[in-house]
Amino acid sequence: MSLARHHLEELKAISGQNGWIDRPDDMQPFLIEPREKYQGTTPLILLPDSVNKVAEIVAYCASHKIPVVPQGGNTGLVGGSIPTTGGDEILISLKRLNRIRDRDDHNQTMTVEAGCILSDIQAAAQDMDCLFPLSLAAEGSCMIGGNLSTNAGGVNVLHYGNMRSLVLGLEVVLPNGDIWHGLSGLRKDNTGYDLKQIFIGAEGTLGIITAATLRLYPYPHEKQTAFVAVPTPQAAVDLLTLARKISGGTITAFEIIPRRGIEMVTRHMPGTRDPMTQAYDWYVLLECSSSLNRDLLDLEKVMERILTTAMDGELVLDGVIAKNQAESDNLWHLRENMSEAQKFDGGSIKHDISVPISAIPDFLTRAGNVVADMIPGARPVPFGHLGDGNLHYNISQPLDMDKQEFLGKWPALNRKVHDVVQEFDGSFSAEHGIGRMKTDEMSHYKTKVEMDMMRRLKDMLDPDNIMNPGVILKKVQK
């Protein structure tokens, strides 16, 4: 279906000069997601530069039942920011809505518009000698509106929580074009339902987030990064428990990496190298940080104490501690390039799962057996946020298998691995969301009560289903 020309012209007029794109070549980068799994079409991309323009656009679309797809940095991995191929959805990019509206040193908050890039927000917080703790490999291009809409996680969740914990207030354009002015900076406010939480993680299906008041923390000037070899995933879990107990709450990141992952990164990603001379089966990248000065808290000693205690208990076999920021960056590059490196090793089927931290070793064994039974020779590369019980359980293809044949098994393998996740009371989508990719898994694993509540919420706020239709909840014929 195509949209009537007069609608497109009206929408261009509302969005104003420099506020729209309709040339196919210019639109192309907005219409494909990072893994190239989703490619969509649209007759028009709108780039409003004020909340009032967003509201006017949405009101117009609501009155003409024109579906809209909100987009931030387009780094989402589940197809939620990409229109379908139907050609009747308008894409609204928030990238020009990118001002920092307010900085409040005493309240330790910053109010930013949805199109602010995450790394710009981190830098602005640092200018206040503060930390905005959300950190992920896509931080140079993802935007805070997208981070909120996916309830992004990243590497510091262990200490600071995910996006849901980092926001105090929101401004949202509702599906009828109304603006909800909820930009509160309050830490205590028990006046009924916490409405902002409805929009966090809603992936643009309940409204368009236009601004947020974010929580800041004292900047952790002291930091220790270590990369250690552990004999087993169980040892990694034991190391986490030990580190939590003796680090005085300073552990801020704890990531697990398998040998196969290190081999792929060092083979394919220029400038990376194995920091140890000997090969080990599993590694942990852990970081302690603190805003206390070294004379008050010597983090070097804290890290040394963690590692020597762990070595005495045979939880750690070998390790390096970064001596400076450059060495710390090099260790982090190994972790951050883990997904990218797999692209050079053939097809890779992804899972973004979480289970209770204590269940991770058993999950890895059970899931490994399931994968080997279904696709002999497939190569699991499970890595990620062990400190949050969240693994990117990626499976690289067998070396002798055709890539397309392997990728054709994606949904069936997902279901088998997610069944194992279910056995451990885990989640089939820990931090990347549902998008268009996991709607079948949603209806399969969520209970009828949960699905009914979500559908009723969606129907109440968006009765004509114009906000990112088909994302999170599959379209139903009425």
Ligand X SMILES: Cc1cc2nc3c(=O)[nH]c(=O)nc-3n(C[C@H](O)[C@H](O)[C@H](O)COP(=O)(O)OP(=O)(O)OC[C@H]3O[C@@H](n4cnc5c(N)ncnc54)[C@H](O)[C@@H]3O)c2cc1C
Point out which span in 68-76, 216-224, 282-290, 373-381 binds ligand X (CB under 6 A).
Answer: 68-76
Dihedral through CA 460, CA 79, CA 434, CA 467, nearest 10? Answer: -10
Does 75 participate in binding ligand X (rule CB under 6 A)? yes
d(CA 276, CA 279): 7
Cβ distance to ligand X smaller for residue 275 or 435: 435
| Nearest distance from C-beta of residue 68 to ligand X, angstroms | 9
Does 154 participate in binding ligand X (rule CB under 6 A)? yes
Burial of 107: CB neighbours in 10 Å, binned 0-12, 13-18, 19+ = middle
Does 389 participate in binding ligand X (rule CB under 6 A)? no
Does 73 participate in binding ligand X (rule CB under 6 A)? yes
Point out which span in 22-30, 131-139, 284-292, 320-328 binds ligand X (CB under 6 A).
Answer: 131-139
Candidates 152, 211, 391, 395; binder of ligand X (CB under 6 A) is 152
Cβ distance to ligand X smaller for residue 66 or 136: 136
222-230: strand order across its sheet: 251-258, 282-290, 222-230, 318-321
Does 145 participate in binding ligand X (rule CB under 6 A)? yes
d(CA 260, CA 35): 21
Does 432 participate in binding ligand X (rule CB under 6 A)? yes
Point out which span in 1-9, 315-323, 342-350, 429-437 binds ligand X (CB under 6 A).
Answer: 429-437
Contact 328, 292 (CB under 8 A): no
Cβ distance to ligand X smaller for residue 213 or 468: 468
| Nearest distance from C-beta of residue 80 to ligand X, angstroms | 3
| Nearest distance from C-beta of residue 33 to ligand X, angstroms | 7
b/e burial code for range 181-193 (CB count within 10 A of at least 16 → b): ebbebeeeeeeee
Does 168 participate in binding ligand X (rule CB under 6 A)? no
CA distances from 15 to 83, 94, 146, 267, 353 (A): 19, 12, 20, 47, 39
Contact 211, 171 (CB under 8 A): yes
Does 161 participate in binding ligand X (rule CB under 6 A)? no
Question: Considering only residues 17-56, where is the footprint of ligand X by CB under 6 A?
Answer: 34
b/e burial code for range 387-398 (CB count within 10 A of at least 16 → b): bbbbbbbbbbbb
Q: How many CB atoms within 10 Å of residue 92?
A: 27
Helix 233-246 vs helix 360-374: crossing angle, to nearest 10: 160
Point out which span in 204-212, 246-254, 407-415, 417-425 binds ligand X (CB under 6 A).
Answer: 204-212
Q: Which residues bind ligand X (CB under 6 A)?
A: 34, 69-77, 80-81, 94, 114, 136-138, 142-143, 145-147, 149-150, 152-154, 203-204, 208-209, 339, 431-432, 435, 468, 471
